[in-house]
A = this chain, B = another copy of it.
Amino acid sequence: MSEYILPLERLIEQFAKLPGVGRKTATRYAMAYLDWSKESVDTFSDVLNEAKTKIKRCVVCNNFSENDLCPICMDATREAVLCVVEDPRAVMSLERVREYKGRYHVLGGVLSPMNGIGPEQLKIKELLSRLDKENITEVIVATNPTVEGETTAMYLMRLLKPLGVKVTRLAYGVPVGADLEYADEVTLSRAIEGRRELM
């Protein structure tokens, strides 16, 4: 369905490579891009190039980093607790809370046999090697509460438990501030299951 002139078709095709972007949205982005000033376009291009060269992965936790070690892994005051997450976005969400004082380990995805992602594609070997090296006392599995995140959490539990390390999972329940009416059934059932005695 080549409708526009070729360079515009190619431009649309490139924007359509972004996640969740179909042809219609890609066309919208392309039109907007063509309206940008020369300075805007140059900055866009420069920043994208710079990002690809400057943004690396921390060799310890696999989070984004400008240096070999990320600021969190370099911070000696961080407790010997390891929070295992899927991607760097989860690290940011948890850091925003300013309550957790431990370290992180970014898996780089979740187990997904359908997409050919097994344990070897995730940073699991690296996770195991940190347990001893860093004298980790607890691993908090904080993969997302999706089917694949759950499967990955189960896999990690079974892998880590025999090693004698304490393994925990984030609590499920009704989101604070939300109305019970809008909570889905699975969440509600988990909230009942995980109920705590008031003291």
Contact = CB atoms under 8 A, between A and B. Distances in A.
Nearest to A20: B28
29 contacts: A4-B64, A5-B64, A7-B50, A7-B51, A7-B54, A7-B55, A8-B51, A8-B55, A8-B64, A10-B47, A10-B50, A10-B51, A11-B48, A11-B51, A14-B48, A17-B36, A17-B44, A18-B32, A18-B33, A19-B28, A31-B88, A33-B51, A33-B52, A34-B52, A34-B55, A44-B48, A45-B45, A45-B48, A45-B49
A12 B37 CA distance: 19
A29 interface: yes
Interface in A65-93: 65-66, 70, 87-89, 92
B66 A27 contact: no
Contacts of A3: 92, 95-96
In the complex, which of the residues A41, A44, A92, A95 has the most CB atoms of chain B within 10 Å of its own CB atom?
A44
A153 interface: no
**How many copies of this protein are present in the complex?**
2
A179 B77 CA distance: 64
Please report whether the interface of chain A is mostly helix, strand, loop or mixed according to DSSP: helix
B14 A47 contact: yes
Contacts of A54: 7
A32 B8 CA distance: 22
Contact of A29 (B14, B19, B50, B55): B19
Given A3-B92, A55-B5, A11 B64 contact: no
Interface string A39-64: 01101110111111011000000001
